Amino acid sequence: MNQFKSSWEFAFSNWKYFLALGLPLIVIESLSAFLIIPLGEMTQPEDFVGFFESNGLIIGLVTITGLVLQISLIGGLWVSYMAIDSKQDINPINALQAGLAKFFPIAGAYILVAIASAFGFLLLILPGIYLTARFSLYAAHIMFEDSKVFESIRASWEKTDEHGSRLFMFTLVFVLLILFSVLILTSNVFAKALPPGSGIGDIPANVLILLDKSGSMGARMTSGAGVYYPQGTAFDSNGDAFVGQYYTYGIKKFTYATGQPDTSFGTNGLFRGTGTGGNCPIYYPRGMKVHNGYLYVTQYYGRKVVRINLSTNVCTAVANINYYSSTLDIQNDILYVFHRTGIVVRNLATSTNISCSFTGNLRNNGDFAYGMAVDHTGSNLYLQEWRYLHRYEIQANKCPKTSYSSRWTSSPFSTYSFGMAAHPTDDKILYGSNYYQHRLHKVTFNSAKNIQKIAKNIPLSKILVVGG
C-alpha cells in the first residue's frame, strides 16, 4: 500500500499541474461525447448513415485530435513526473510538446502493447493485467533513452523482470479500484427516480419491482388505445389526429372529441394502404400534412409522396422521390419535400412539378433535415438540420433560394426537431418539438425576422388550436 500512498500524495500535491496538463484532452473528449449524443437515440440504420454523412468530417477531426492529445499525454506525464520529482520547472504545454515530439514511436508501442494486453485479457483477464504491468515502462524508455518501438517494449519487459509480481498486484488493485469507481458512477447516473405516488420520501433506493395498483403509470392520452413507435403526426380542421407508425404498421386516426381511434379509417381503424381503400403501401410514414380533404404522407422507404382521400380512404401516389425523405409541408397548394439527394416542389392545384435548384448550402442542409416548415404566406422555408435552424426565402417561382437568409447555430429546438409547424396566420411564430429536452417550443420573431422570444413547454391544446 505504500506505493498507492506515495502515488496519491504526489498526485494530490500537484493536482493543479496535472489538471492543466490533461485539460486539452478533457475538452476534446467532452466535445467528442457531445457530438455523438444523438447516436444514443437512433434505431434505424439509415439514421446512422445519415448522421455520419452529415457529421463525419467534424467527428473524424475531433477523434484524430483526441488521439494525438492522448498519445502526447502519455509522454508528457513521464516528462512531468521526472521534472517535478527532480525539482525542475516545466509547464504543461512544454510537457505535451515533448510527448508530441515522440508521437509516432509512442503510438506504435502503444498499439502493440494494447494488442498484447487484449489477448491477455481474453485469457481469463489476469494475464492481460500481468502483461499491462510488464509493458508499463515503454513510454519512459522512448522519452528518456530515445528507444525505438520494439526496443522500448523489450526494455520494459527486461527492467520489470525482478518486480513482475509486485507490479502485477499493484496493477490489479489499480484496475479493481477503477472498476469499483465506474460501477458507483454508472449506478448513480442510470438510476431512475421513483414515479409519483411511490413513496419516494420513504424509499431512498432503486426499486426492482413496483406494483402500480392505480394504473396511473400506464395512463395514455387516448384511453385504451396506443400507437406503435409513432413517427409522423397531422391534424385536420376538427382537431382529429393522424399518427404514422413504425415499419408497416400503418396510420391511426384519433377523434379529438373522444380521444378514441376512428374505426372507420382504413381497416378496423388502421390504414396500411393495401387491400380495400388503397393501392400504395404505407412504409415508415414520417412527414404528414392534411390539405383540402387529403392526408399527404411521405413513404420513407417507399420513396414516394402519397395522399389519402379522407372521405373515401383511397390512397394514390402524388410524387416519386429518388431517396429517403422525412420532411413534408404544404402552403398555398405548394408541396415541399426534402430527401437525401434533392427537393420536390409540386403545385397541387395544377398537378405539376416545379423544377428547383438544389445546390449550395440548401443541399447541404436539406439532405439531412428532420424538420421543415413553410410560413403561411409561403415567403420563407425553415429547415432544422441537426442543431442548426435555417431560413430560406421562397422566390416567385415557389422555389427556395439556395443560400439561407438567416441561420441560428444554436437552434431554439436544440439538436433535433422531428416536427415543425408554422402559425396559420402569423409569419412571426414557429412551433417545433425539442427531441432531447422533451418539450414543445414556440419561437417568436421580430419585424427583422430575428428570434425575439422562445417559449418552452407549450401546452398541446395551443398547438391543436393553431393547427386546426
Q: What is the CATH number of the domain that holds 363?
A: 2.120.10.30
For the beta sheet containing 380-385, the strands, ordered from the edge strand earlier in sequence to the opposite edge, are: 371-374, 380-385, 388-393, 406-408
Are both 162 and 241 inside the same structural domain?
no
**Strands, DSSP E only, in 155-200?**
none
Separation of first and last alpha carbons in the chain: 72
**pLDDT the model gives residue 90:** 84
Q: Is residue 274 part of a domain?
A: yes
Are both 149 and 283 inside the same structural domain?
no
Are both 266 and 389 inside the same structural domain?
yes
Are both 110 and 39 inside the same structural domain?
yes
Are both 181 and 238 inside the same structural domain?
no
Among 139, 132, 134, 129, CA closest to 102? 139
In 329-359, which positions are buried (b, 16+ CB within 10 angstroms) versus exposed (e)? Answer: bbbeebbbbbbbebbbbbebeeeeebebebe
**pLDDT the model gives residue 399:** 97
How many Å separate Cα 16 from the centre of its chain? 34
Are both 240 and 320 inside the same structural domain?
yes
Task: Give the 3-state secondary structure of residue 325.
Answer: strand
Are both 169 and 234 inside the same structural domain?
no
- Residues 6 or more apart in contact with residue 399 via CB below 8 angstroms: 345, 354, 355, 356, 357
CB 266 within 8 A of CB 259: no
CB 70 within 8 A of CB 47: no
Residue that is written with C-alpha cell 393553431 in the block: 466
Q: What is the pTM of this model?
A: 0.55
- Residues 6 or more apart in contact with residue 183 via CB below 8 angstroms: none
Task: Give the 3-state secondary structure of residue 234.
Answer: strand
Rounded distance between C-alpha atoms, residue 392 and residue 19, angstroms: 45
How many Å separate Cα 64 from the centre of its chain? 20
Are both 101 and 161 inside the same structural domain?
yes
Are both 24 and 164 inside the same structural domain?
yes
**Count of domains forming the chain:** 2
Q: What type of residue sits at position 441?
A: H
**pLDDT the model gives residue 377:** 93
Rounded distance between C-alpha atoms, residue 270 and residue 250, angstroms: 6
- Residues 6 or more apart in contact with residue 93 via CB below 8 angstroms: none
Rounded distance between C-alpha atoms, residue 335 and residue 317, angstroms: 13
Are both 239 and 388 inside the same structural domain?
yes
Give me the long-range contacts of 443-448 (CB less than 8 A, separation at least 24).
443/412, 443/413
Q: How many Cβ atoms are within 10 Å of 464's Cβ, its own excluded?
A: 13
Q: Which structural domain range is residue 380 located in? A: 227-467
**pLDDT the model gives residue 1:** 55
Q: What type of residue sits at position 167?
A: L
Distances (CA, A) of 289 to 65, 148, 232, 420: 44, 65, 9, 11
**pLDDT the model gives residue 295:** 95
**pLDDT the model gives residue 44:** 57
**pLDDT the model gives residue 388:** 85
Q: How many Cβ atoms are within 10 Å of 16's Cβ, its own excluded?
A: 9
Rounded distance between C-alpha atoms, residue 389 and residue 400, angstroms: 15
Secondary structure (DSSP) of 12-73: HHTHHHHHHHHHHHHHHHHHHHHHTGGGGG--SHHHHHHHHHHHHHHHHHHHHHHHHHHHHH
Rounded distance between C-alpha atoms, residue 188 and residue 287, angstroms: 38
**pLDDT the model gives residue 70:** 93
Q: Is residue 203 part of a domain?
A: no
The one-digit pLDDT tens for each residue of the chain (468 residues) are 566 677 777 778 888 888 899 999 999 988 888 888 767 656 556 567 666 766 788 888 999 999 999 999 999 999 998 888 888 888 899 999 999 999 999 999 999 999 998 988 887 778 888 888 888 889 999 998 889 999 999 998 988 877 766 667 767 776 776 777 666 655 554 445 555 444 444 444 444 455 544 444 444 444 445 777 777 888 888 888 898 887 778 899 988 888 888 988 888 888 988 766 667 888 888 889 999 999 999 888 778 899 999 988 888 889 888 777 878 999 999 999 988 788 999 999 999 999 999 999 898 888 778 788 999 999 999 998 877 889 999 999 999 999 999 998 877 777 667 678 888 889 999 888 776 666 778 889 988 777 776 776 665 555 544 443
Q: Is residue 210 part of a domain?
A: no
**pLDDT the model gives residue 81:** 87
Q: Is residue 83 part of a domain?
A: yes
Are both 136 and 241 inside the same structural domain?
no
Are both 111 and 234 inside the same structural domain?
no
Q: Is residue 199 part of a domain?
A: no
CB 285 within 8 A of CB 231: yes
Last-in-domain residue among 143, 168, 190? 190
Q: Is residue 213 part of a domain?
A: no
**pLDDT the model gives residue 187:** 53
Q: Is residue 212 part of a domain?
A: no
Last-in-domain residue among 170, 190, 210? 190
Last-in-domain residue among 162, 190, 218? 190
Q: Is residue 137 part of a domain?
A: yes
Rounded distance between C-alpha atoms, residue 68 and residue 63, angstroms: 9
